[in-house]
Structure 1
């Protein structure tokens, strides 16, 4: 028989069990990241020569497609046949440090869906039934959007950014010789940043559910968003309009898609409120 005096102890044990469960979710997530990081560390030749330095070579898939597109539309400026820069290591520990850092970043990217699933397993039991129905398919949606963003960042943003920065010169007296730390940091930021940027529809969905974001608000600031996106396209692409459009269109589409999501959320909320109002009047 449970007495009143026993209740605080039960609550304390329940809280401790809760922390223990969180600890194991964190441990499994860290293990997954470390496993993929070790695999990436061992596969040094493939990781660096194929993956990391791929966007720095003119035979990269994106540059080949741009050359084919240049031929099709008769725009030679779009075809990038050479990248005039060198990558150096100016610090004694530079290559070793970047080997570890890049392995960890790759491990984090590959393990991200599993890590999110682990955290979702910890969070979801505490949600109410309505909250669970709202967030149904969250793991799948986050994984698809993150993967799409990473691919976009790697195959679109990274090669165009590398091409622009490699060819940018303030004077003919200055040669572009980039440190390996700078190159890998830039590449990692673009890929991870793009993966996180593509979570915008998910963020808008939950903020709309909470009533913090409305489609009217997003439409009001759409012009500001367009300006920001066009500036990003101008900065991270070669100096031609077509390349800027290649960057800007997916980002504009992502913003517009988020407006549709917010509008859908508010329509469903309005219909639900109307049904409850009718039930109240009938009663």
Structure 2
């Protein structure tokens, strides 16, 4: 399968390069996500397309929503329309931030969307554009992505845990930490299936078990052998420019049923991430 991937340096793109080095990975110079038509024109000579590039600066999107919406909304839409015209499967990564984060039950794929922040609105714009494109498209909503690459919670906790005796971490936000490696594996499996005629749709994929940021931090410290104490705090004690959802739980059963891919155990992946970083 000739695979075309938008993105080179992001967490999922890096894992895709490890798993599928034969794929063609487009850098920003080759396909600028702020130029939707350039992205569409870059789609050629392939059997499936994965968009692993995005605006991911959640807080910065609050003041640069127009730019974030072009990158996360208009460009994926242009990619999907190009795929539709060429009869190619298109796989796109989205987020739990399209929901309002209320309640304690895992969100279903059919639940109403109501983003709390600009980043969530930009990602929802992308979902809508992709769904309207007519392509055989997979929209994969994920949460709390972590890896040994880029900037993420695991790397931040390891750095701070080595510097401090204790840390205050939010305990009233709950979700499933999702290893980028598992997302990459899931996308490749789905891409192969879709290239053979399987249908896409909107799906959820997140790590298991669900946990709070504070408990996630405790597991990081335990696995890394760091004595740093984690103190639970409410979200109100750690204000950010963009409002975060308190409930990031995702029901992933439909994705497992459609593609045979279970939720990954993030604790096992965390062991490998820490090993890679040390």
Question: 1 or 2, which has the higher helix percentage?
Answer: 1
TM-score range, shorter-chain basis?
A: under 0.3
TM-score, normalised by the number of residues in structure 1? 0.26
